[in-house]
Homo-oligomer: A and B are copies of this chain.
Amino acid sequence: MDFTPSDKARDYTERVRAFIAERIAPVEEDYLRELLALPEHERWRVLPVIDELKAAARAAGLWNLFLPDEREGAGLTVSEYAPVAELMGRSFIAAEVFNCNAPDTGNMEVLHHYGSPEQKERWLRPLLDGEIRSAFCMTEPDVASSDPTNVEATAVLDGDEVVVNGRKWFSTGAGHPRCEVLLFMGLTDKDAHRHQQHSIVAVPRRADGVTVERMLPVMGRYDEPSGHGVVRFEDVRLPASALVGAPGQGFEIGQNRLGPGRVHHCMRLIGLAEAALEAACRRGAERVAFRKPLVNLGGNRERIADARIAIDQARLLVLYTAWLLDTQGILGALSQVSQIKVAVPLMAQRVVDMAMQMHGGAGLSDDYPLAAAWTVARALRLADGPDEVHRGVVARLELGKYGVAR
């Protein structure tokens, strides 16, 4: 047992840390202020500073770090990438700057593993180059999508074409001005085994029949310029080559997409929680009430300790999950991948809530990043499956050890 990171992991971690400190941190606050100062409808654009940072990151070799493939990414394993993702989680824009932002990362992985040469050329290449963005269209407003077999949208084969119909929401990234491709999950064969009914289709954002009806706020925020869209697909007719993988392979692809993705999400939340704890410590040490610094009042020190303990436990669980994924694949980490999905967002939500409280009213304002951070953490208790569903997976696997069927 050895908790030492590999030389490679350490190298990338240090370089990413330095890049964030030197290039991103000095401009991030201004960027966010500039964006929010725009009228709402004008925020759906990429401000120049983002493109400059992206170019600099790529030039520095800090690009597509999430991708284990050495030719396209940095060749980092999941557990080597994890501490890098944590650092990115301390910033709202770093993931994009390093071309490591969701949902593009997961979409690139899907296209990398399942895409046809044509799809790789058309969609993966520009995604890897950071020239376009993508969305993943899975959840539907009309059904409880925590059960993926509820999906009602359709991807029907018709000769050498596939016809896509349905209404999706919380399609993250769909509002981005450079979003060019939507990975769409739809029902192809209702009579197949329940895990072989769905297919994934790469739908061009500008295809006929695709409408982004509106963007959805999450706790009042639109997360411009990416956002979360309500997308309508009406008789979108595409060549069958738009299918990613085989017909009926959608469920499998969706599952495989999620393993490393959950590690990425969770590590970013670890970073976000660390930043919130640091803010709580600094604020609590500076502010004085009743003639004492806040940290010396009531239970505040105990709260700081509990946050430290919770973050460290959560990080270790994610790192362990990453290591299992690296060494045993998704089948060796099924329980853990759900465990971190339960444990980490909830931990992050609580730590940020504590930090908000330590900041007083300021913690709820946008003068500090805590309100936005809370929203990120809270949303991840639902995105990609609610806590309760993942607890169900963990329990099923646990009970399975004692021979309990579903």
Q: What are the interface flags for A373-388 relative to B under an 8 Å C-beta threshold, 1 for contact and 0 otherwise?
A: 0110011011100111
Q: Would you list which residues of chain A between 259 and 281 have a CB under 8 Å from chain B? A: 277-278, 281
Contact of B357 with A300 in the complex, beta carbons under 8 Å: no
Query: A395 to B398, alpha carbons, bound, how many Å?
Result: 27
Would B144 and A294 count as touching, CB distance under 8 A? yes
Given the contacts A150-B289, A364-B382, A219 and B375 also touching, CB distance less than 8 Å: yes
Q: Which residues of B contact A289 (CB under 8 A)?
A: 144, 146-147, 150, 389
Enumerate A304-343 residues with CB–CB distance to B below 8 Å. 304-306, 308-309, 312-314, 316-317, 319-320, 323-324, 335-336, 339, 342-343
Residue-wise, chain A 131-160 has the 8 Å CB interface mask toward B (1 for contact) of: 000000001010111110010000000000
Interface-central residue, A293, A312, A323, A367, by most chain B CB under 10 Å: A312
- Among A3, A323, A324, A390, the most chain B Cβ lie within 10 Å of the Cβ of A3
This chain: copies in complex:
4
The one of B145, B293, B371 in contact with A220, judged by C-beta atoms closer than 8 angstroms, is B371
Q: Which residues of A approach B to under 8 Å, CB–CB?
A: 1-6, 9, 39-41, 79, 139, 141, 143-147, 150, 169-170, 216-221, 277-278, 281-282, 284-285, 287-290, 293-295, 297-306, 308-309, 312-314, 316-317, 319-320, 323-324, 335-336, 339, 342-343, 353, 356-357, 360-367, 371-372, 374-375, 378-379, 381-383, 386-396, 398-399, 401-404
